[in-house]
Amino acid sequence: MLLRLMQNLQLVQDTLADGNTYRMYSNIVTEGLNFAVVAPDTEINSDQSMLDINQVRILPMSHKYHPSRVHAGLLIYSVDGQTDFVLNDVNLRIKTGDIIIHQIHNALSGQEDVYRDLIRTLFGTHRINLIGLVFTFSGQGQLTDCMRWRPNSSDHTALMHPTEQKLLEIVLVSLYMNNTWLTMPIGTHVDVEELSQNTKKQYLYKLGEIEQLFNKRRQERDRMHRFGLPNFLKHHSADDFHSFEWTPAREQLFDETIQRLLDEFYNTILQTFRDGEFDRDEYAYFDDNTKQLFSNLINPYAPLSIQPYSNLPRNTYY
């Protein structure tokens, strides 16, 4: 939902910035509030238990975001029951909330081989008891797949909780797609609640940019009237000729449509980002269903060569 919401905000901003006034007006008044409609996600399970994720980090072996490519990602929750450990062969510290994202050529929804490749890239094999979240998304910022990964030899994926999907989208918008993760020290983990609030500010800032652009277009329109400039703009196309005139009725319809859009976007942002949603006491918890993830593990694989981080020197690994 968050990725589509940002897409729609950008679409409105690009439409308002269109130098062709006829086309800009037509797109705004004909599409209207459709720009603000963000359909709920269907491939999620609100009855699923949430995993205990308090901090996130994009791992340094991830690929840089590319707007024209498809990307696949893995958020690690645990491996062999460990949530904070070091891979002995590469001296890399891994903990709950670490994420690896790679560019891929193509991916079908639910295609498990894509995720097995990611797991092999990090751990050398996909045959491990790994619990986490897996996802694919297009460069334009649209999730095409988001599932819970579990160590089951017959079916590795299951629907995730909507809050987990929101967490993934927050990471993509605020850390990955804007390349913020590339400026951070390798060992830096970001608090999820803090990241959520920063993402909310990012959406509100984008909404403010749209409002400023709207006011700018209104001022340009008012200057045309005030200085007696021609009140129509000509628009040429390959097979037709149109003239556009700012009449009082069109001005009112345009202004009211934009204002309703701004109101709808604002309310959607407030409803999407709830204060405290990712706080440790409210979001991060183990309930009976979450514990089942461990108690019912099918364990056909040999454990990885890992050591709990608590048993190792704290200044040795990243």
Give per-residue pLDDT as tens, 97-108: 999 999 987 655
pTM flag (> 0.85): no
Of 60-69, 85-94, 111-120, 164-173, the least confident: 85-94
Asked if pLDDT for residue 298 goes beyond 50, the answer is no
Q: Residue 186 and residue 318: Cα distance in Å, rounded?
A: 7
Of 62-66, 164-168, 196-200, 300-304, the least confident: 300-304
Domain range list for the chain: 2-40+196-272, 55-163+178-188+288-311
**pLDDT computed for residue 318 by the predictor:** 47
**pLDDT computed for residue 283 by the predictor:** 55
Long-range pairs for 16-23 at CB < 8 Å and ≥24 separation?
Answer: 16/210, 16/213, 16/214, 16/217, 16/258, 17/213, 20/233, 20/235, 21/233, 21/235, 21/244, 22/233, 22/235, 22/242, 22/244, 23/235
Computed over every residue of the chain, the mean pLDDT equals 80
Half-sphere exposure of 40 (CA within 13 A, CB side): 8
**pLDDT computed for residue 231 by the predictor:** 44
Q: Residue 218 and residue 224: Cα distance in Å, rounded?
A: 10
Sequence-ordered list of residues with C-beta below 8 angstroms from that of 159, at least 6 positions apart, any chain: 43, 44, 45, 48, 147, 148
Query: Strand pairing partners for 73?
Result: 101, 135
Give per-residue pLDDT as tens, 253-275: 999 999 999 999 999 999 888 87
**pLDDT computed for residue 200 by the predictor:** 93
DSSP 3-state of 75 = strand
Report, as an integer, the average pLDDT of 1-15. Answer: 89
Confidence label for 37 from pLDDT (cuts 50, 70 and 90): confident
Query: Do the beta carbons of residue 43 and residue 146 sit within 8 Å?
Result: yes
Confidence label for 317 from pLDDT (cuts 50, 70 and 90): very low
**pLDDT computed for residue 102 by the predictor:** 93
**pLDDT computed for residue 232 by the predictor:** 42
Report, as an integer, the average pLDDT of 280-293. Answer: 53
Asked if pLDDT for residue 227 goes beyond 90, the answer is no
Confidence label for 173 from pLDDT (cuts 50, 70 and 90): very high
Cα angle 3-283-55, degrees, rounded to a multiple of 5: 70
Comparing 241 with 308, the larger pLDDT belongs to 308
